[in-house]
Every structure is written in C-alpha cells, then in structure tokens.
Amino acid sequence: MHMLTQWDLAIFHSINQIQSRVLDIFFLWITEFKSFGWFLLVALSTFLSKRKDRWRIALFAVLLLASVNVLSHEVFKPLFHRPRPCHVLQEAIVRTACPDSPSFPSGHAMSIFAIAVFLGFYYPSWVGFLGFLTVAVSLSRIYMGVHYPSDVLGGAILGMIMAFGWRKMEKKSKNQTSKIKMTHQNPKCP
C-alpha cells in the first residue's frame, strides 16, 4: 500500500507542479465544462446523428449521467471519504476552488469515461474526440490540484463499468421494443 501511495504522490506532483498559463486556462475551462458539457455532448450526438434510435440513446445517456452523479456523490465519496490533495498537501498548487466533497472517486473522470465509452459504442467516428476529452478531463483534475491520480483512475474504471452496464440495458430495451413492434405489425389471425 505504501508503494501505491508513493506512486500516487509522485505522479500527482509531476503533473500538478507544471507551471503554464496556457494549461491553467485550458484545464480551468475543461473543469468548468462538466457543468453543462456532458449534456451538450449528448445533445450534439442526438441532433447530429441520422440514427433512427438516437432519441433512445440520448435518453439512456442522460440516465447514465444521472446515475453516475448519484453513485459518485451519494455512495462512493461518502464510502471512501478520502481527503483531497488540496486539503492535505501544503505543496499542492490549487488552481480552482477546492471542493468540500471527498476525493475518491473523481466525479469528473467517472462522468467523462462513462459518457465517452457509452457514446463511443454508437458513434465510432467520435472515438478520437471522446478519447481526447477523457485524457484532458483526467489530467485537469490532477493539474488543478483537486484529485490524486488514483482518484481519476478509480473514476475512469467505475465510469467504464457503468457505461457497459447502461449499454447492456439499452440493448435489452432495444430488443424489447423490437419484439413489441413485431407483435403489433404482425398480429396473429384467430
């Protein structure tokens, strides 16, 4: 466990101690993006898509994001109750307001990985852009001084697991809808 803590701190310091006005602006923007950005991604994917099932995908994406938010803030953070580096490391460079909520897992990382993986299933041409966002959001949390790398990694893993779970539920919903449509289109004659 001690080696993991050393690894976590070493990576945290190597990213957090970088001094760059450009990165300050970029990562602050990425951090603030969460407030509306995930829903903007869902809206864009819905309106730009020609898929017939885009509205169902959008509905499941919104439900995914809502469940990520609840699980992150109401279950995992209180369960692990890990202090943030901005609260306990005097040498941390804190570039944004330090949240009062616990550190593990990173809700930003959990959200972006969940929505990126989920939308990537349906919009494979977006994978490069979504991958860039996952890296940018993940690095921003460490650079801003509000998360350890293990918080981000934990959030990423949990977000991906949730994306796969919601994808499975969406496929099941699609199959159920198809069965209902077939039943209504081909009623059996008595």
126-168 confidence digits (pLDDT tens): 899 999 999 999 999 999 999 999 999 999 999 999 999 999 9
Q: In terms of Cα–Cα distance, which of 102, 108, 122 is closest to 174?
A: 122
Q: CA-to-CA distance for 149 and 158, rounded, in angstroms?
A: 14
- pLDDT number for residue 34: 65
- pLDDT number for residue 4: 74
Q: CA-to-CA distance for 167 and 91, rounded, in angstroms?
A: 42
Mark 72-108 as b/e (b = at least 16 C-beta within 10 Å).
Answer: beeebbeeeebebbbeebeebbebbeeeeebbbbbbb
In the chain, the domains with their CATH numbers are 21-176 (1.10.606.20)
Asked if residue 70 has pLDDT above 70, the reply is yes
Q: What is the mean pLDDT of residues 66-84?
A: 95
pLDDT band at 69 (very low <50, low <70, confident <90, very high): very high
Q: What is the pLDDT of residues 42-58, one digit of tens each?
A: 777 777 777 788 788 88
